[in-house]
Amino acid sequence: MEKRGWDQLDVLFVSGDAYVDHPAFGVPLLARLLEAEGYRVGILAQPDWKTPQAFQVMGRPRLFAAVSAGAMDSMVNHYTAAKKQRRNDAYTPGGRSGSRPNRAVIAYTSALKGAFKGLPVIIGGIEASLRRLAHYDYWSDSVRRSLLVDSKAGLLLFGMAETALLELTRRLADGEEIENIRDLRGSALLCSERPVEGVEIPSFEAVVDDTAAFNESFRLAAGESNPYNARPLLQRHGSRWLLVNPPPLPLDQSRLDRLYALPFQRRPHPDYKETIPAFEQIRHSVTSHRGCFGGCAFCAIAQHQGKFIQSRSEQSICREVQQLVSDEGFRGTVSDVGGPSANMYGMSCGNAEARRQCRRDGCLFPEPCPHLKADDSAAVHLLKRLRAIKGVRHLFIASGVRLDLLEKQPRYQRQLIADHVSGLLKVAPESLCAELTRIMRKPGPEVFETFLARFREQSQACGKRQSVVPYLIAGHPGSTLEQMVETALVLRRLGLQVEQVQEFTPTPGTLSSCLYHTGCDPFSGEPVHVPRSDRERRLQKALLLAHLPENRSAVKEALKRCGRESEEALLLGRHGTNHRPGRQRRGRSLDRGKGKA
């Protein structure tokens, strides 16, 4: 600040992540955006929330402080599905845990209010975004109030927030009081009186103990997710009303390109002496687009980024890859070009009127929407241009592909298999049981088997020894031991050994978390089996990892519970297949999202 001649900041950001000046990290991206608009911005990364002085090092900001827990919900960051404390944090130097508090948004907001009396505090990021309404919290096994109520912040911004944050900053700089800013898209606020317009959903007091009311609340809120037709949501919390404005409109290509053209240093702050694992993973990767129209039940991406795909231009992406090539640590390999699903780049709804009226959560389940333009021309041409950039020897797709969409993209599929697999292609069928994939809103097992056959055939035709590593979930609502036995037998038949199995964690705001809490589908009313006991979940996981010697006794127990002891030799015998998945990291389990910006 002294070098820049600043005596006061306009905006102070507080983040639960280490400071990495890279567009894959949300707080630095927002800070760079405000800086480009002429505002004086500072970032406090992982401050000591127990010490008020830690928040005062850059003085009181003129306009407001903005709080984010970081790239992950702090409870997901800290605890496994078994509610055991994690020993590492990929967003912290050295990968150490403990550098951010539990329920970080609440802790940071409280500390800021203590350090700067009367200062407006804005909350956002993934933790605030998915907890904007009354929600089920797995770690306390209870329904909690909106995070805006519990944190006592002045305003909550949900979604990616660039547009909302920029407008909010301008209006506060022009002298508006934060209490009077009630019409901002992508924001939530508390009102003393019921707003005139909006869809009223069951109150916090109604949903806290009534699962039917909780399901109704979830269903009504889900119907207002399309920014082109969404109405405000109203939820009473005691004597006050929570007003959740419609989601922000998607960014057009030029505005998205502008974000990625900001002067990022693309590295951690130089004060850090240890590596930051999350940065190392994305250091030589490129984000080509945001948003996802898959509509998976367990995924929160669409609730945060939206279901409409927002793609950068080829020129913007090529410029970023050229920057990577000039990086002193670059060795010729671009580790990933993609987004939530890499093969959604360049896709859109082909009917503007249908888009304005759409009420679907996604475009692929239960059947692909006829208005979806699934043309792969943009993605194929992009990868061709990137491969031609001087200095790029290898370019891989590591962010995952949607298999049922890949069926409609023959050229992209051939190019992916021929040029963009690093040896092991990770895909996420999540289950190989048709009944369970329907509950997950994922394509059925036949889609995975068809893709696997094509992958093996085309890899062989290219003269490449490549394998598929499927991600699977154990313990998801609807899953039973019988289904896991069937899935294990399918894996055996296909000659696959699973490398990583995720134990289901009910993260706030998702359909799967609603199913877990209520045991009932909020849309169909059908009851759903929920594997709640730790033992049942562990047995499901063991069946999917039956090839590991340490799981033999658990597999035998699971088979006995199902009355299928006769299948023991099939599951625990040697693999009689030539389709080996390559070198395995035995016994490791990686929760989805962990260590990934």
Please state the residue numbers annotated as binding site for [4Fe-4S] cluster: 292, 296, 299
The DSSP annotation for 503-521 comes to: EP---TT-HHHHHHHHSB-
Contact, 48 vs 54, CB < 8 A?
yes
Contact, 28 vs 264, CB < 8 A?
yes
Helix (DSSP H) and strand (DSSP E) numbers for the chain: 23, 24
Q: Residue 521's Cα: distance from chain center in Å?
A: 22
> Burial of 124 by CB count in 10 Å (0-12 exposed, 13-18 middle, 19+ buried)?
buried
Token code pair at residue 352: 């503007």
Token code pair at residue 411: 């050229």
Token code pair at residue 24: 């894959």
> Burial of 11 by CB count in 10 Å (0-12 exposed, 13-18 middle, 19+ buried)?
buried
- Amino acid found at 315: Q
Token code pair at residue 371: 């208005």
Q: Residue 311's Cα: distance from chain center in Å?
A: 17
Token code pair at residue 547: 């090839």
Token code pair at residue 190: 């508390």
Q: Residue 222's Cα: distance from chain center in Å?
A: 17
Q: Which residues pair with 472 in a beta bridge?
A: 430, 501
Which has the closest alpha carbon to 112: 149, 171, 153, 163? 153
Q: Which residues pair with 21 in a beta bridge?
A: 267
* Rounded CA separation 346/61 (Å): 40
The total of other beta-carbon atoms located within 10 Å of residue 178's CB is 18
* Rounded CA separation 435/421 (Å): 30
Q: Which residues are annotated as a binding site?
A: 292, 296, 299
Contact, 104 vs 16, CB < 8 A?
yes
Mapped onto helix, strand or coil, the DSSP state of residue 142 is strand
Q: Residue 469's Cα: distance from chain center in Å?
A: 20
* Rounded CA separation 125/14 (Å): 11
> Burial of 111 by CB count in 10 Å (0-12 exposed, 13-18 middle, 19+ buried)?
buried
Token code pair at residue 556: 């035998």
* Rounded CA separation 68/110 (Å): 13
Q: Residue 590's Cα: distance from chain center in Å?
A: 15
Q: Which residues pair with 65 in a beta bridge?
A: 12, 121
